[in-house]
A and B are shown apart, each in its own frame.
Chain A
Amino acid sequence: MQKLGDFKLPHFFNYPPYFTLQPVRETSEKQIQLWKELILDYCRIQKIFVIRLEEEFPLFSNSVVERTLSHEAREAFLSALVAEGRAEWLDKGRRNCLILWHRIQEWADIIVNFVKDNGFEDSVMTVEEIRSGIESRGTELQGIDRTILVRALKLLEHKGKLAIFKGTSTDDEGVKFSV
């Protein structure tokens, strides 16, 4: 099986039409679906949270068949993800896309489990600690994108599971759990 780093590529990755935006509706629906799944899978395994359209993205090029997705195609597939709620545009110009291979709600659940597993029910932590502290090593929270983390925390705050407050330094915010 062909690989991109550690990531196993499906056989149709070498099918040249896969890299051309198909005009016929039925065909293009299938194509979009396949790209959506592929992007999510790849990002989850490689822990990629943001795709920048103007930069090179390994998944969007195939040197074996010498094909690259056009800007239009990239935008089309990412917009499809956004429409499904699995991604968000970070800017109006649609140059940067946040990939939610876990939805925000799922991240929230992961945080809650993390808190419970480590007995942090009443503790205080900084946001940074959640994503890069010792406890988070080996968990999904390790290296999580800050924007996503904050969104998940805000969701939990809304549900009353925690409280976010500004820290002493302007750098970091703190979280008080009350799970």
Chain B
Amino acid sequence: MSNFFSKAEVTSSGRPVLLRNEVECHLLSAVDLEPEDHRHFSLLKSGLLILTTHRLIWLPSSSASTPTCASAIPLAAISHIFSSKKSLKSVFHSPRIRFQVLVSSTGRVFDPGSGSGSSSGSGSRSVVVTAVIRGKGDCDGFLVKFWDSWRARAWETTETSGSGSASASGSGAATGTGGGLYSSDGSVRMVGVAGILSKEQEMWESTDKNLQDAFQDLNALMSKAKEMVTLAEKMRLKLLSGTSSQTSGTNDEDMGSKEEMQDWLLSVGIISPVTKESAGALYHQQLSRQLADFVRIPLERAGGMINLIDAYCLFNRARCTELISPDDMLQACSLWEKFDVPVMLRKFDSGVMVIQNKSHSDEEVFARIKSLVTKPEALRTGISPTDTAMTLGIAPAMAKEHLLTAESKGLLCRDISPDGFRFYINLFPEIDPCNMYFVKDYGICSTWIKAVSTTGMRLRPWVNQKGLGAQDGSIQK
């Protein structure tokens, strides 16, 4: 049986790869997708149904016995959504959402982005698809959002405004970009200065109205959020171009800092934060996967291990508005055990918690510490967490944890003094209490003695006490 639906791309942690400007809106679990003609096409059983501004995405649950791949239905291919009928039957059944999808000549879902070009060859036939919701999700809420997203037709505005906004310069960009804000309302065209003035006036009025609408209705704010950002951007550009003259130098600067800002946003940003509202009871699961995806890059930068608190700050910063609580973070991390993700949460004896790659090896770190601590300088004066951090290329707090772990394994000994907290290679195992003065020819003790005696220990005039004899502190064999 072949696949009725289009294939959807998925990240290594099982999260869907979103299109440009695509935002997640709602989520339901344990959903079956049944195309009407399920004699020829396979049904998708018990998966996660995600509604976005552009598509309906179906992800197989990890407990599925047969490996099915993630599927998607573009909202553009949907021709009708049926309203839910409350009948006697529906009380006993699992709730269902039915909608009509355009199909291509092969009988599979019509994919408007697949470049089929001519309008004539596109879906003349439609097929009804039923989504059976066997999980405990909010079916009615989902349906409402489904209607909203389908009617909003976000994929169309993306196509028209895609090339326009990035290259907008300060002047003369008032019309023609970004959907509703600047669309003409069919008023009489005016020419000359009056025309320009009245256009400006119109623009300010509509902006004002927009702002009022936006702030009165939070739902509306959510959808207008993108427009708000664009508006703020345009205002900033207008200000900049208003004060500067037309020299190429300042233009470059604008472009430079703008690009910088975009880069920065991209490196830090996640476009569709998973919120409690859109994911309901699965909040922690989805959050957990999203966190696993996000933390990959900071981990690499930090050398394979990052403090949980640092990760929490970075993650929340990226989410911008939909902040998560420390509890949520902890939950999300503890759920990693259940999924096959390449990261894990680890708690050290001292109580410090870190996120580390599963591939991280303690042994390897110890080997590096050992080679560091047996260098002549380190044999004489030991190493501090800061030295280790610099040499290993990791954060000082992490370095200290590694040193403490190495100490607990018997590799190092601590030395606490007014000079601070330092570590030395552990010599004790080689010393025999029954034969204290004996030093083996080959061994760490002998290496250590050589290292400390080549330059001599620090000399200090000893103030004589109790007639115990002066000593000059040099070691003679």
A interface residues (Cβ-Cβ under 8 A, vs B): 1-6, 8, 10-12, 14-17, 19-20, 22-24, 26-27, 30-31, 33-34, 36-38, 56, 58, 63-67
Contacts and interface: CB of A to CB of B under 8 A. Distances in A.
Given A1-B476, A26-B410, A34-B433, A20 B416 contact: yes
Contacts of A10: 431, 436-437
23 contacts: A1-B476, A4-B468, A5-B468, A10-B436, A10-B437, A11-B445, A12-B436, A14-B457, A14-B475, A15-B427, A17-B415, A17-B424, A19-B415, A20-B413, A24-B410, A26-B410, A30-B433, A33-B433, A34-B431, A58-B468, A63-B462, A66-B458, A66-B460
Nearest to B446: A11
A20 B433 CA distance: 18
Contacts of A8: 437
A64 B457 contact: yes
B466 interface: yes
- 6 tightest A-B contacts by CB? A17-B413, A64-B473, A5-B468, A30-B428, A16-B415, A10-B436
Contacts of A20: 413-417
A66 B382 CA distance: 14
> Majority SS of interface residues in chain A?
mixed
B476 A63 contact: no
B471 A2 contact: yes
B473 to A, nearest CB: 4
B89 interface: no
A90 B381 CA distance: 39
Interface in B97-116: none
Nearest to A4: B468
Interface of B: 382, 407-408, 410, 413-417, 422, 424, 426-429, 431, 433, 436-437, 439, 445, 448-449, 452, 457-460, 462, 465-469, 471, 473, 475-477
A15 B379 CA distance: 9
Contact of A22 (B413, B452, B473): B413
Given A10-B437, A34-B436, 19 more contacts: A11-B475, A14-B457, A16-B417, A17-B414, A19-B417, A20-B414, A22-B428, A27-B407, A27-B426, A30-B428, A36-B433, A37-B436, A38-B436, A58-B465, A58-B466, A63-B460, A64-B459, A65-B457, A67-B415
Nearest to A15: B427
A2 B410 contact: no
B433 A14 contact: no
Nearest to A7: B468
Contacts of A6: 469
A63 B468 contact: no
Given A31-B428, A56-B465, A2 B473 contact: yes
